[in-house]
Copies of this chain bind each other. A is one copy, B any other.
Amino acid sequence: MTDVTSSLNCSESTSNADDCVRTLTRKDFQSGREVRWCPGCGDYSILAQIQKLLPDLGIRREKFVFVSGIGCSSRFPYYMQTYGFHTIHGRAPAVATGIKCANPDLSVWVVTGDGDGLSIGTNHLIHCIRRNVDVNILLFNNRIYGLTKGQYSPTSEFGKKTKSSPMGTIEQPLRPIQMALAAEGTFVARTIATDPAHLHETLEAAARHRGTSFVEILQNCRVFNDGAFDTLVGRDADEDDRIFLRHGAPLRFGPGGHKGIAERNLAPLLVDLETEQAREEELLVHDMKAPSPALAALLAALEPPHFPMALGVFRDVEKPTYDELLMSQIESLIGQRGQGDVDDLLNAGTTWEVG
């Protein structure tokens, strides 16, 4: 996202006071349009956390841009009192790249879905992450096509029965985190809409990261895939099914943190600390700065029933961003050649005078 200090500066504030970042509140980010998701949709909680977070980022409201594709999730921008672009199916990362290159000072957010981002839009998502364009990508993963009323998506579990798979799907699901890691994303995290605190902290970390931040948000589709994530958080949750990643901390989970994850031949190993206290120091220690992709890959593949699903930041490393590099090439060339002069350019090369 945009350099915070640069936009904290209130001297450039305009007449209408509410543009001064210090005074912004959650309400300032509500567009007032009637929010039109189904009752009980997980998207509401994500909207709430974003509206809660933005005032704290110290960025002037007019610098926020929300870009989305098509899907229930992609209606998001309409509800934000910021600049917004509800584009076409799967293309939001490409549109966002253009926006960021046109004005690197903007805080650009992409909202996409598991179909928008990982079916039709996979190519743009991957290349945006690979280039490390400084945008924040939120992928609402409800493991279903919501807006088109319930076909399976690339993240639907194998064998799932849906309108388009009456006998069950025959496709292995994609793991969004794995894709983002393989594209060498500099910030890759997973959170869940039903845990507002974790959602908020993860979104904030994403916002503060320079370069592409990719956040998979597990989100319940009340109408077409209800309860998909109930075992992770909430009333019917099973603590054995989730593990929260904390940088520098050993991988412990389960009731009272009595379980942990170690490794043998680079394969994950479940450790029950109640029975095997001793093996505590064998536990893997999470390192979101690890240069090698192996740890993150191991964590990304963890899934119930055999292992807990990992929530938190898988990777958070610093690399120059696409937009920075783009502008620095421009500046360095201007440094060498000076600001381009149109007449010089037109008259460059072999020329001759006629009569």
Please name the residue on chain B nearest to A126 by beta carbon. B122
Please give 6 more A-B residue pairs, beta carbons under 8 A apart, in addition to A130-B174, A293-B301. A120-B123, A127-B154, A132-B172, A171-B322, A178-B293, A265-B287
Interface positions of A (Cβ within 8 A of B) = 119-123, 126-127, 130-132, 154, 167, 170-172, 174-175, 178-179, 181-184, 263, 265-268, 284-285, 287, 290-298, 300-301, 319-320, 322, 325-326, 329, 332-333
Q: A296 vs B178: C-alpha distance in the bound complex, in angstroms?
A: 13
Whole-angstrom distance from the CB of A334 to the nearest CB of chain B? 12
Copies of this protein chain in the complex: 2
Q: A182 vs B121: C-alpha distance in the bound complex, in angstroms?
A: 16
Known: A122-B127, A265-B285. A184 touches B170 (CB 8 A): no
Contact of A130 among B172, B287, B290 (CB under 8 A): B172
Please name the residue on chain B nearest to A170 by beta carbon. B325
Identify the interface centre among A154, A174, A291, A297: most chain B CB within 10 Å of its CB: A297
Known: A170-B325, A171-B130, A266-B263. A297 touches B293 (CB 8 A): yes
Known: A179-B182, A181-B182. A170 touches B127 (CB 8 A): no
Would you list 6 pairs from A and B whose C-beta atoms are within 8 A, ordered by A residue? A127-B154, A130-B172, A131-B172, A171-B322, A178-B184, A292-B298
Please name the residue on chain B nearest to A297 by beta carbon. B297
Q: A293 vs B294: C-alpha distance in the bound complex, in angstroms?
A: 8
Contact of A293 among B123, B174, B298 (CB under 8 A): B298
Question: Ordered nearest first, which 7 A-B pairs have the shortest CB separation?
Answer: A182-B182, A170-B325, A297-B297, A266-B294, A294-B298, A267-B292, A178-B182
